Amino acid sequence: GAVVSQHPSWVICKSGTSVKIECRSLDFQATTMFWYRQFPKQSLMLMATSNEGSKATYEQGVEKDKFLINHASLTLSTLTVTSAHPEDSSFYICSARGPSGRDTGELFFGEGSRLTVL
Amino acid sequence: AQTVTQSQPEMSVQEAETVTLSCTYDTSESDYYLFWYKQPPSRQMILVIRQEAYKQQNATENRFSVNFQKAAKSFSLKISDSQLGDAAMYFCAYNAGNNRKLIWGLGTSLAVNP
């Protein structure tokens, strides 16, 4: 149980275009999902906390107009990188608290999405 | 503020031998959770082991075990009988529960030599 699926796993886009990444909890309801960004050989950097039915909470320094997050249902959160630029190229990872995660903080992760902006 | 420190950016171990990855943390909370996550080359994060701070017994999962020293705020991961598939980045993480976010260490890259 507690499977999180992320799509696409790999995307290339042209500079100036927008890209949407989906994160789905397949066998549980996730009221809270987290979006991370990871640079090569570095740790995870939390970008925002996505709450179902309400606005996402962004970490300091993360542009909310650039990284649009929508959590419209209990099983789906989306991250849209708007007007992408080469510096947005990175590995983006979503995660969700599992059924027991509300108390423990344990997270279940999607496969990650590699974004390359040309 | 809570912090998690992994002082070993890189480690290596011979196949079938034992290796210990270190993690220390700083918190003023008395009740919290600690995790070790593994990130293999595929980049998918996988939970290795979890420890509840209120439990004195060290958590174990097959070849993986922890040495949890609450007073010293230390949470090391021991991998026994290392296998080639254990090669990965290992991240230590802390959470105080109550819907708070995870605090991550910088990771330790583990190489397993055949």
> Residue B89: CB partners within 8 Å, gap ≥ 6?
A41, B38, B39, B40, B107, B108, B109, B110
Using pLDDT thresholds of 50, 70 and 90, give the confidence band for residue A98: confident
Q: What is the predicted pLDDT for the residue at A1?
A: 66
**A8: pLDDT strictly greater than 70:** yes
pLDDT tens per residue across span B18-63 = 999 999 999 988 889 999 999 999 888 999 999 999 998 999 999 9
Count CB-CB contacts under 10 A for residue A17.
Answer: 12
Q: B96, B101, B93, B99: which is closest to B75 by C-alpha?
A: B93
What's the mean pLDDT when you consider all of chain A?
91
pLDDT of B108 reads: 97
Q: Which of A43, A106, A109 is closest, CB to CB, to B104?
A: A43
pLDDT for res B8? 96
Nearest to B50 by CA among B11, B87, B93: B93
A 29-68 → B contacts, CB under 8 A: 32, 34, 38, 41-44, 46, 49
Tell me what pLDDT residue A2 has. Answer: 82
Interface test with B, best of A3, A31, A44 (most B CBs within 10 A): A44
Residue A31's pLDDT band, with cuts at 50, 70 and 90, is: confident
Burial of A69 (0-12, 13-18, 19+ CB in 10 A): buried
Is A28 part of the contact surface with chain B (CB cutoff 8 Å)? no
Distance, CA of B38 to CA of B47 (rounded, Å): 6
Query: What confidence tier does A103 reach under pLDDT thresholds 50, 70, 90?
Result: low
User: Distance from B84 to chain A by nearest Cα, in Å?
Assistant: 19
Judged by CB atoms closer than 8 Å, whether chains meet at A112 and B101 is answered as no
Residues from chain B that touch A109, judged by Cβ atoms under 8 A, are 44-46
Q: Say how far apart CA B59 and CA A53 lie, in whole Å.
A: 36
A4, A13, A86, A114: which is closest to B43 by C-alpha?
A114
Position A101 pLDDT exceeds 60 = no
